[in-house]
């Protein structure tokens, strides 16, 4: 398994990082390597894991540079024989044959640039990790109604929960970046993650650009991971809401360039800022 490099990005991850790395051991780490790109942790967890596990290399980014840029820094550590990049959040847990299943699917589909497993929430329910690329209409409907009417048609069209719950592999618009096997050739061809996205939507944008370059995004349901949730995002909930809405606006701007779209993009930006503030205020009142 020395042809795979795992990259994970940390920001005070707490004990989740150790559990994540331990879940990779049955998947061939070591001899495969894990690169931990740290965005400025203060809890000592990345240092402790790097010191205690020989498969782990710690790389320090120049501050909190965001998720996609940190992954790109980690990808620069890949050696000539490491032709696969396993990009994972440190708050995921792999099952023993997760990577084997993903690699088997990749060898059957040589134009698959990204492959993602079934992602389970801690209670065992299926998270909709294999989704359609959002159009403006779908995005607006999802943003306005998902909180009060979860089964609305726009959210259903975007989340494709039936695909994530299926037992059949499927090509989709994009795959959750929580646990993602990337063909290094495809990743480098499109220039990696877009550094402009600090956090959120970098995986949506990656899936879009892979498809535009002729690669597919393949959902592999017989590979399974659990997304347990991270300490760093829980401590920064307000900042994460703001980052999500900013990235949504950035994605819209990037996918709808030109003068004709400029008023629409501007109006949606205003709406997203207002929604972000309202969401944060509501969360604070409930807290």
Residue 225 has pLDDT above 70, yes or no: yes
pLDDT of 234: 57
pLDDT of 283: 78
Q: How many angstroms separate the CA atoms of 86 and 184, rounded?
A: 10
Q: Are residues 109 and 248 in the same domain?
A: no
Q: Are residues 220 and 266 in the same domain?
A: no
Q: Are residues 85 and 14 in the same domain?
A: yes
212, 229, 246: which is the final residue of a domain?
229
Say if CB 190 and CB 213 are below 8 A apart: yes
Confidence label for 282 from pLDDT (cuts 50, 70 and 90) = confident
Q: How many angstroms separate the CA atoms of 280 and 285, rounded?
A: 9
Residue 214 has pLDDT above 70, yes or no: yes
Q: Are residues 251 and 127 in the same domain?
A: no
Q: Are residues 192 and 267 in the same domain?
A: no
Total domains, the chain: 2
Q: How far is CA 251 from the centre of its chain?
A: 15
Which neighbouring-strand residues pair with 33? 5
Task: Give the mean pLDDT of 178-198.
Answer: 98
Residue 48 has pLDDT above 70, yes or no: yes
Quick one: tokens of 166?
Answer: 């299926």
Q: Are residues 87 and 8 in the same domain?
A: yes
When mean pLDDT is compared across 10-24, 139-153, 214-228, the lowest value belongs to 139-153
Tell me the pLDDT tens digit for each residue of 2-41: 899 999 999 999 999 999 999 999 999 999 999 999 999 9
Residue 279 has pLDDT above 90, yes or no: no
Q: Are residues 78 and 169 in the same domain?
A: yes
213, 229, 245: which is the final residue of a domain?
229
Confidence label for 233 from pLDDT (cuts 50, 70 and 90) = low
Confidence label for 207 from pLDDT (cuts 50, 70 and 90) = very high
Say if CB 46 and CB 36 are below 8 A apart: yes
The secondary structure of the chain, three-state, reads CCCEEEEEEECCCCCHHHHHHHHHHHHCCCCCEEEEEECCCCCCHHHHHHHHCCCEEEEECCCCCCHHHHHHHHHCCCCCCCCEEEEECCCEEECCCHHHHHHHHHHHCCCEEEEEEEEECCCCCEECCEECCCCHHHHHHHHHHCCCCCCCHHHHHHHCHHHHCCCCCEEECEECCCEEEEEHHHHHHCCCCCCCCCCCCHHHHHHHHHHHCCCEEEEEEEEEEEECCCHHHHHCHHHHHHHHHHHHHHHHHHHCCCCCCHHHHHHHHHHHHHHHHHHHHHHHHHC
Q: Are residues 116 and 257 in the same domain?
A: no
pTM for the model: 0.95
pLDDT of 108: 98
Task: Give the mean pLDDT of 140-153.
Answer: 86
Say if CB 197 and CB 247 are below 8 A apart: yes
229, 260, 275: which is the final residue of a domain?
229
When mean pLDDT is compared across 110-119, 170-179, 180-189, 238-247, the lowest value belongs to 238-247
Task: Give the mean pLDDT of 137-156.
Answer: 87
Q: How many angstroms separate the CA atoms of 209 and 161, rounded?
A: 23
Q: How many angstroms separate the CA atoms of 70 and 78, rounded?
A: 14
Say if CB 30 and CB 58 are below 8 A apart: no
pLDDT of 235: 61
> Which residues form the domain of 278?
237-286
Q: Are residues 109 and 32 in the same domain?
A: yes
pLDDT of 146: 85
Q: Are residues 262 and 193 in the same domain?
A: no
Residue 222 has pLDDT above 60, yes or no: yes
pLDDT of 236: 72
Average pLDDT, the chain: 95
pLDDT of 230: 61
Residue 253 has pLDDT above 90, yes or no: yes
Q: How many angstroms separate the CA atoms of 99 and 172, rounded?
A: 19
Q: Are residues 200 and 251 in the same domain?
A: no
Q: Are residues 279 and 157 in the same domain?
A: no
CATH code assigned at 167:
3.90.550.10
């Amino acid at each position: 398994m020395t042809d795979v490099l795992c990259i994970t990005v940390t920001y005070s991850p707490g004990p989740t990082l150790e559990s994540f790395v331990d879940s990779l051991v049955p998947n061939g780490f070591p001899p495969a390597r894990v690169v931990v790109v740290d965005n400025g942790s203060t809890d000592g967890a990345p240092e402790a894991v790097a010191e205690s596990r020989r498969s782990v290399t710690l790389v320090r980014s120049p501050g909190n540079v965001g998720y996609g840029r940190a992954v790109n820094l980690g990808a620069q550590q890949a050696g000539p024989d490491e032709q696969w990049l396993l990009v994972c959040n440190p708050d995921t847990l792999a099952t023993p044959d997760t990577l084997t299943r993903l690699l088997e699917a990749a060898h059957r589909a040589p134009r698959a640039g990204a492959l993602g497993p079934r992602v389970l929430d801690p209670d065992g329910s299926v998270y909709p990790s294999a989704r359609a690329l959002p159009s403006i209409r779908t995005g607006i409907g999802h943003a306005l109604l998902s909180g009060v009417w979860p089964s609305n048609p726009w959210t259903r069209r975007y989340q494709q929960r039936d695909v994530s719950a299926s037992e059949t592999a499927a090509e989709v618009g994009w795959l959750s970046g929580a646990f993602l096997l990337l063909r290094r050739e495809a990743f480098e061809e499109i220039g990696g993650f877009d550094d402009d996205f600090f956090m959120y939507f970098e995986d949506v944008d990656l899936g879009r650009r892979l498809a535009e370059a002729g690669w597919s995004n393949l959902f592999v349901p017989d590979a399974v991971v659990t997304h347990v949730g991270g300490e760093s995002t829980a401590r920064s909930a307000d900042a994460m809401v703001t980052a999500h809405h900013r990235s949504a606006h950035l994605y819209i701007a990037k996918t709808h360039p030109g003068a004709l779209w400029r008023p629409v993009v501007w109006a949606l930006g205003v709406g997203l800022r207002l929604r972000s503030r309202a969401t944060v205020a509501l969360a604070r009142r409930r807290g």
